[in-house]
Amino acid sequence: MSTLRALTDEECLALIAPGGIGRIAFTGSRGPTILPVTYRLADGLIEFTTRTGGAMDDDLRTHVDDLEIVVAFEVDAIDPVHREGWSVLIQGPCHHAGNARGDSWADGRDHLITIRPHRITGRRLES
């Protein structure tokens, strides 16, 4: 039998610290949207890149001073053989942070976006 337990903020951040693939969720121009992104954790911020002028860039840009779009960001790891895994959910405002560092997996991703975590939750399923 497996046990589901809540993770602390520190445990959540340690699990996602290596970076990799996560999913960003936001309300886009065509409704609820969830997209995979390559990310890294730097100075307490989630960082990922997008294409300037692309659909995500347009949806996450308000052109209104001091208006923040709050997004959800999720990372998980699942082991179906052992029926174990973990999931981390971060919620907070995203910000356009300028030019990308060039570490995106996909070509044309030239614009850096950051998420400042306001709420961090996570769960781990253990045997």
Q: Encoding tokens for residue 8?
A: 């602390």
Provide φ and ψ at 56, rounded to 5°: -65, -40
Number of domains in the chain: 1
Q: State the residue range of the domain holding 31.
A: 3-126
CATH number for the domain harbouring residue 80: 2.30.110.10
Q: What is the pLDDT of residues 1-46, one digit of tens each?
A: 789 999 999 999 999 999 999 999 999 888 999 999 999 999 999 9
pTM value > 0.75: yes
